[in-house]
């Protein structure tokens, strides 16, 4: 198509402040249906995960600003819940891509939290990375922020993984931040991905990591933006999210 004379919204901006919409725990229904009068969409985002389990959902938290508590199922290791988009963002077509979220965990044990861009966001959403001691193993290509209680690092230490489509794993000690999450205290995490696959990670406004072109993201491959929580044992895992923001440029080439 011709790019001459383009007008209208060239910048995509998706945002939710979690002011009260929720998918109550105990609905025991499949994704894409409704329950309790709530559709499985929160603002600009869809909710994916083990929502058919009676211990899983997204509920409002009565706290300043309004938070949503994402609650994983305890049915099995890897069960989770995510709030995010469809697989629609390509660095080369939509960059720079930005995801920012403010979040906290009530307890930093027994669970995985990921916030960033990932290659798959299926209805039964899988964690994009599995962890053991110091090894991050790719489930799908991703770039973002990770808290994981199965790593040998201290609970709450932020990690900043980037696994390309061609990668299989990464060493956690090479992608650790200087900042550690504190139970009951919120952190602002922000990932910026450029058109050339370079990326920058910020925590609470501090630049924690910068990766060169072609190293952080596979430029021609679509990804979803999301924040999610997954169980690492048969214990429910939660994360409280104050807000979620995703920004990207519109692809005018189609």
Q: Domain ranges in the chain?
A: 11-249
pTM of structure:
0.92
Contact present, 48 and 81 (Cβ < 8 Å): yes
Q: pLDDT per position in the chain (254 positions), as tens?
A: 555 556 668 999 999 999 887 777 766 555 555 544 334 678 899 998 888 788 888 888 988 999 999 999 888 888 999 999 999 999 999 999 999 999 999 999 889 999 999 999 998 899 999 999 999 999 999 999 999 999 988 778 999 999 999 999 999 999 999 999 999 999 999 999 999 999 999 999 999 999 999 999 999 999 999 999 999 888 899 999 999 999 999 999 88
Fold of 11-249: Jelly Rolls (2.60.120)
Q: What is the pLDDT of residues 125-156, one digit of tens each?
A: 999 999 999 999 999 999 999 999 999 887 78
């Amino acid at each position: 198509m011709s790019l001459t004379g383009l007008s209208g919204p060239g910048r995509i901006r998706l945002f939710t402040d979690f002011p009260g919409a929720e998918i109550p725990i105990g609905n025991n229904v499949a994704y894409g249906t409704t329950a309790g009068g709530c559709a499985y969409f929160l603002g600009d985002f869809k909710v994916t995960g083990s929502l058919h389990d009676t211990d899983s959902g997204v509920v409002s938290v009565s706290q300043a600003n309004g938070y949503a508590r994402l609650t994983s199922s305890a049915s099995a290791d890897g069960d989770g819940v995510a709030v995010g988009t469809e697989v629609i963002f390509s660095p080369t077509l939509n960059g720079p891509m930005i995801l920012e979220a403010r979040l906290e965990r009530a307890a930093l044990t027994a669970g995985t939290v990921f916030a960033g861009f990932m290659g798959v966001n299926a209805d039964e959403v899988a964690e994009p990375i599995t962890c053991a001691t110091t090894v991050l193993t790719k489930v799908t290509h991703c770039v973002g922020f990770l808290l994981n209680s199965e790593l040998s690092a201290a609970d709450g230490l932020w990690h900043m993984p980037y696994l390309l489509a061609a990668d299989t794993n990464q060493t956690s000690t090479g992608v650790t931040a200087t900042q550690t999450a504190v139970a009951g205290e919120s952190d602002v995490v922000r990932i910026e991905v450029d058109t050339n696959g370079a990326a920058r990670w910020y925590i609470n406004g501090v630049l924690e990591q910068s990766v060169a072109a072609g190293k952080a993201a596979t430029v021609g491959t679509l990804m979803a933006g999301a924040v999610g929580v997954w169980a690492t044992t048969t214990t429910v895992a939660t994360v409280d999210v104050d807000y979620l923001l995703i920004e990207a440029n519109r692809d005018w080439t189609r």
